[in-house]
Structure 1
Amino acid sequence: MSAEHDIEQIEQANASGRTPAVFVHGLWLLPSSWDRWAEVFAAAGYAPVLPGWPDDPGTVAEAHAHPEVFAGKTVGRVADHFAGLIGALSRKPVVIGHSFGGLLAQIIAGRGLSAATVAIDPAPFQGVLPLPISSLRASAPVLTNPANRHRAVPLTFEQFRFAFANAVDAAEAEQLYETFAVAAPGAPLFQAATANLNPWSETKVDSTGPQRGPLLIVSGEKDNTVPWAIAEASYKKQARNEHAVTEIVEMPGRGHSLTIDSGWREVCDTALSFVQRFA
């Protein structure tokens, strides 16, 4: 995803006069994973912006051809990248993020850059303590080899099935894997795994500041990667904010693929109805 493409989207959003809706993807996905969401938000009167992480390829085919471009991206670098893009918008956006994108959305909200934020199955920030067995298994393809901190790491279908597509049937899981799955930087998973041992962790979130704005956390009931224990602990930390609404909702029967699988629309509508209350 070229920088020119990101700038073009921002210019279009500014020219529209509408409230921008910025979508932040997580690991093993690309901005195109939000395409259907963008159509729904545009129809609802928002100006969708789907920026990439730095150097994201434009397509899944390009990502498969050059997986090395994903290597080395850290949470701090990506958060600053998104903050810079949002700073070029003429109106404060709503921000919707999934997985590590949900963590990034909360970092952005903590910096006062979001009018309303939805964090879907968000990766844990510093101070979120639960570490369920299924989360460890989902991140094992990266964390079992320390050298992966500096690499781009793909998932096998079996690993994707456990981490993302455990709540859909085998045929849909295959289709999701072929359509959406790309390699991902290992660094963010190492940063999340060591966050509570590192006072300077880049996964730190300002959850209590007056600038944070309204926040919804969405949890998939059957998510192996970010189970309810992590989502609830994130919510409890965020709910200490005395200045803005903090809510959490659980989507029954849904796994980590809830933003891209056949039930995506229910999750999209849940996010949309929340942000419409505030922006």
Structure 2
Amino acid sequence: MKITRPKTIVFITGAFVSNDCWKEWQAYFEQKGYTTIAPPWPHKDAPAEVLRNRHPDSEIASNRLADLTNYYAQIVEQLPEKPILIGHSIGGLMVQLLLQRGLGAAGIAIHSVPPQGIFTFKLSFLKAGWGPLGFFTSTKETYMMSFKDWQYAFTNGMPLQQQKDGYYQFALPESKLIVRDTITAAAHVDFSKPHAPLLLTSGSTDHTIPASLNYDNYRKYQHSDSITDYKEFEGRNHFVLGQPTWKEDADYILNWIDKRLFQPETINKALKINN
């Protein structure tokens, strides 16, 4: 079996934010020779301000994790090669789910929502997640994060103006059901199953997905011939894609791709898994 160098990257957006959050990442990776796409979620193909003005939005409210994973699977399957998958938050969870289906040459899960069965009682996680779950409210209506909640859940520790800019550029209304689906079988991962190389990253100041939760996710993977790596970045919050340090993270990912996809040891493992 011949191993070819993948040159396509699919960026998978997380909840609460526009796919525009990948624009700088796309430009940067394209400068490095990759072709990139960052498809919007269903019913979210509009500027953030437009979507906020539609809130409460019954179409966005109808999004479910299983359907969203299938939506990205169909996009990936239409590409001329297996792409590298890079996802943030729920997008990181979908990276893991798509690798389970054999649909990626490699995966990078940035501050990923963990698969089913991995949980923490850390206060910041519970505080950041309670509102989006929308208990005792209608699931036919979207949840729109307030700026105050955004400051806690996404941009904690950043200057006020950067927090405001991020909110008005990227914050979107979200489906309560898709958040709830992350603790159901729709988010199930078989950790003993072989998979393409996977990198999980975390941030030391992330309130929404604490670093310890990402580390627990990493430790669950058990297949000895599959590559699973973990990296915690100091000072990164959940708005990691838009923090001033984002290029450092992107460079780490680029170096990891080169190391894990194109060294002889990795190629031999990929051949063993696929045969």
What band does the TM-score fall into relative to the shorter chain? 0.7 to 0.9
Cα contact 1:221–1:250 (8 A) shared by 2? yes
Match for residue 45 of structure 2 among 57, 72, 75? 57
- After superposition, the Cα gap between the structure-2 partners of 1:171 and 1:52, relative to the gap in structure 1 and judged at 3 Å, is same
Question: d(CA) in 2 for partners of 1:34 and 1:220?
Answer: 18
Aligned to 1:102: 92
Deviations 1:144-180 (A, max 9, x none): 5343544311111110000000031222111111111
Alpha-carbon shift at residue 30 of structure 1 (Å): 1.4
Alpha-carbon shift at residue 119 of structure 1 (Å): 0.3
Alpha-carbon shift at residue 18 of structure 1 (Å): 6.3
1:208 aligned onto 2:192: yes
* RMSD between aligned residues: 1.7
| Larger mean Cα displacement after TM superposition, 178-187 or 74-83 | 178-187
Question: d(CA) in 1 for partners of 2:188 and 2:6?
Answer: 31
Aligned residue runs from structure 1 range 154-233, under 5 A:
154-192=144-182, 194-195=183-184, 201-210=185-194, 212-233=195-216
Alpha-carbon shift at residue 206 of structure 1 (Å): 3.0
Alpha-carbon shift at residue 100 of structure 1 (Å): 0.5
Question: d(CA) in 2 for partners of 1:35 and 1:213?
Answer: 26
Match for residue 244 of structure 1 among 226, 238, 261? 226
Q: Look at both structures and tell me which one has the larger radius of gyration over its CA atoms.
A: 2
Q: Percentage identity across aligned positions?
A: 26
Question: d(CA) in 2 for partners of 1:43 and 1:57?
Answer: 25
1:275 aligned onto 2:257: yes
Aligned to 1:66: 54
Question: d(CA) in 1 for partners of 2:134 and 2:172?
Answer: 19
Gaps of 5+ in 2: 263-275
Aligned to 1:19: 7
Match for residue 117 of structure 2 among 121, 127, 133? 127
TM-score (norm 2): 0.88
Aligned to 1:79: 69
SS at match of 1:202: helix
TM-score (norm 1): 0.87
Alpha-carbon shift at residue 136 of structure 1 (Å): 1.1
Cα contact 2:98–2:104 (8 A) shared by 1? yes
Match for residue 247 of structure 2 among 265, 269, 279? 265
